[in-house]
Amino acid sequence: MQGLLKRLIPFVLLFSALPASADALDAILERGTLRVGVAEFVPWTMKRGNGELVGFEIDMANKIASDMGVEADFRVYDWPDIIPALQKGEIDLIAGGMAITPQRALKVNFTRPTAESGIGIATNTEMTKDIGTFAELNSADVIVATVADTYASSVAEMFFNSADVNTFKTVEQAEKQVLSGRAHVYLAGYSEARFLALRHPDVVDVPVAEPLVAQSEAIAVKKGEQEFLNFLNAWVTARQSDDWLPTTRDYWFDSMTWALGSK
């Protein structure tokens, strides 16, 4: 027995001497920057003509960084690339416009919901002028555009299983389909569909006044970052309690002032 213990002691000492794996929270505080992954969706994240990023996610990420005593470092991705960027460690979090789904929860850890939203549709007015009901849009003659790997693209499978659904890598590509008359329908976040119609009232309409499907949104972090996740959950709770999150959300999603002035 003593011989076995003598042989085991060096291994025990070796493993006890190994440093504990640092959590992202420690790395962020030491680095002084919070690397935030975003993708351009109205009004979550938008880029002004001068390149400045604005939107609900931008305000939220800046507030998180400020409360941590660090600076926000924004990285813009095409939507299909944003989860891989988190998994590879290029960013520390995905800002809170990501819909919580079981499939995504296999790849990332979600915080408590930051907001509730839903999926809506925008239609090309001229192309759909002879369509009288929502059910008629689910036809083989109808072309639907949406962004790949979004919750809207999953909803398309439920509501437009008979239509010709085309997915695109960016919002701009998908929006152009309905604006140019190459698609009857653009399926997206309800607010995004509504603002598209607001910006192009002569071309686009929102025929359904309520979201087709409700969804919860949250901040996403890399698997295994429990301390960072704990902090973000506490942050969400605190900023909901003091009304910062609801008030900021209302500005971007219910106010028309910024939308009417945007390009």
Domain boundary among 194, 213, 232: 213
Torsion on CA atoms 52, 253, 142, 101, rounded to nearest 10: 90
One domain, residues 79 and 197: no
User: What CA–CA distance (Å, rounded) separates 204 from 185?
Assistant: 9
Average pLDDT of span 239-250: 95
Residue 131: which domain range? 117-213
Q: Binning pLDDT at 50, 70 and 90, where does residue 88 land?
A: very high
Each residue's pLDDT tens digit, 27-54: 999 999 999 999 999 889 999 888 899 9
Same domain, 95 and 146: no
Q: What percent of the chain has pLDDT over 70?
A: 88
Q: Cα dist. 81→39, 59, 117, 132, 188 in Å?
A: 9, 22, 23, 38, 18
Q: Is the pLDDT of residue 10 over 90?
A: no
Q: Output the pLDDT for position 134.
A: 85
The predicted pLDDT at position 5 comes to 45
Answer whether residue 10 is part of any domain: no
Looking at the structure, do residues 187 and 129 belong to the same domain, yes or no? Answer: yes
Q: Is pLDDT of 9 > 50?
A: no
| Whether 198 and 241 share a structural domain | no
> Residue 262: which pLDDT band, with cuts at 50, 70 and 90?
very low
46 and 99 share a domain? Answer: yes
Whether 11 is in a domain gets the answer: no
Q: Which CATH number belongs to the domain containing residue 135 in this structure?
A: 3.40.190.10
29 and 70 fall within a common domain: yes
Residue 18 lies in a domain: no
- Report the domain count for the chain: 2
The answer to whether residue 5 is domain-embedded is no
- Asked whether residue 3 is assigned to any structural domain, the reply reads no
Torsion of CA 104, 106, 112, 117, to 10 degrees: 20
Cβ atoms 37, 95 nearer than 8 A: yes
pLDDT band at 22 (very low <50, low <70, confident <90, very high): low
Residue 188 is assigned to a structural domain of this protein: yes
